[in-house]
Structure formats: C-alpha cells, structure tokens
Amino acid sequence: MCRYGMNTYKSHYACFSCRKTFKRPLKVDFRRKAAREADEIPAKCPECGELMANMGLDFEAPKKQDVKAWKHIKDLYTTGITFHSCGCTGPGYIPRDKQSLIKVLENRLQDYIEQRRFWSSKEEPESNAEKKEFWRENAMPIYRVPRDFVSGTRKTKMVDIPKAIAFWSEKVDKISKHIEQLKLA
C-alpha cells in the first residue's frame, strides 16, 4: 500500500462487460478480521455480478461509449499489462493502440525465446565447483524462473533445467497465441 501525504490510493477494478470501473476498499478500511476475509472475496461487478479486473492504482477508464478503447484495455489486461504502481511514479510504458501492443508482445516473445534457448543449451553441472560457477555466471536467468525450480544450498544452488525449459516454452506458446488473436481481431 502506498501513501502519499494523507491520501490512500485504491486500486481500480474494471468490468469489461459493463464498461465501468469501481474502487475497492483497502484492508485498512476494515477491522483486522474483516480485512483477512476481504482478501479472499473476489471483486464482483455491482452491476452484472461478473468478476472484475484489478487494473491498478493509475488506471483511468475510457468513456463508456468508447467501445474500441475498452477492447484495447481488455487486450492489455489479458496480456498482463495493468496500471499498478505506488501511485507516485506511474505504471511505466502502456501501449496506446493495438499495433503498439503487438510490438511490445513481439519483443516479449523474443525475450521468452531467448530464455528458452538459454536453458535448452545448458547442461546440469555435476560437481559443487561447477554448480558454484554456473550460479555465478547465470544469476540473471536463474532469477527469472520460479523459485520452486531452484534447489540446493546457498553455495550449490541449481535449477531444474527441464522445468525451466518447459516454463519458457509455455510462455512462448501462450504469448504467440495471444499475438495471433490480436492480429486476427
């Protein structure tokens, strides 16, 4: 939670069906027990009852009549691009149209392909010295895989390479399909 002065920022939740947004109360707005329970309750649209998308603190909804803009916002959300930040610095680059979004996703696809290629070319080190060297030389790619793929002690950390390959392959497939859907729409 970010506080700037005395203002508390609240996330904006969007309903793509109704093309409306609502702010949801924060945990600090409830008593402690109610706050824990509120975290478990999904945000549903007060209008239609469908689940709403957490668009973040810096989201500014388009006008309800702007169907094209709402479709673009939904495309952003389904690709994992939202407006989350602390409310002070902004969410970073947000593509403004479909072509910009496709370009961002194509760049992300190339990154995912490089990650898959990296892990596909690696062999499991056998000795502790090789493991230590592997960790030292490949720290950045190692940090980009889920933590449960990493095992070993502090000095002999190792990554489950087949899981890493499968992880990046799944990301490549998912983003490739999404790019195709955007191009066809």
Q: Are residues 58 and 110 in the same domain?
A: no
Q: Are residues 69 and 104 in the same domain?
A: no
Domains in the chain, number: 2
Q: Which tens digit of pLDDT belongs to each residue from 73-91?
A: 999 998 888 887 765 666 7
Whole-number pLDDT of residue 24: 76
Last residue within a domain, chosen from 48, 78, 108 = 78
Q: Are residues 63 and 125 in the same domain?
A: no
Q: Are residues 29 and 71 in the same domain?
A: yes
Residue 39 domain-assigned (yes or no) = yes
Residue 37 domain-assigned (yes or no) = yes
Strand-pair category, 53-56 with 20-23 = unpaired
Q: Which tens digit of pLDDT belongs to each residue from 28-74?
A: 555 555 545 555 678 889 899 999 999 988 888 999 999 999 999 99
Q: Are residues 65 and 122 in the same domain?
A: no
* Of residues 112 and 1, more confidently modeled: 112
Confidence of residue 19 (pLDDT cuts 50, 70, 90): very high
d(CA 138, CA 165): 15
Q: Are residues 74 and 123 in the same domain?
A: no
The amino acid present at 73, given as its one-letter code, is: I
Confidence of residue 1 (pLDDT cuts 50, 70, 90): very low
Q: Are residues 137 and 103 in the same domain?
A: yes
CA-closest candidate to residue 182, choices 93, 76, 54: 76
Mean pLDDT of 95-116: 93
Confidence of residue 11 (pLDDT cuts 50, 70, 90): confident
For the residues of the chain, what is the DSSP string, one character each? Answer: --EETTEE---EEEETTTTEEEE---GGGS-HHHHHHHHHSPPB-TTT--B-EEEETT--PPPTT-HHHHHHHHHHHHTT----S-SSS-------SHHHHHHHHHHHHHHHHHHHHHHHT-----SHHHHHHHHHHTHHHHHTS-GGGEES-SSS-EE-HHHHHHHHHHHHHHHHHHHHHHHH-
For the cut 80, the answer to whether the pLDDT of residue 27 exceeds it is: no
Q: Are residues 131 and 170 in the same domain?
A: yes
For the cut 90, the answer to whether the pLDDT of residue 118 exceeds it is: yes
Name the pTM for this structure. 0.70
Q: Give the domain range for residue 155.
A: 98-184
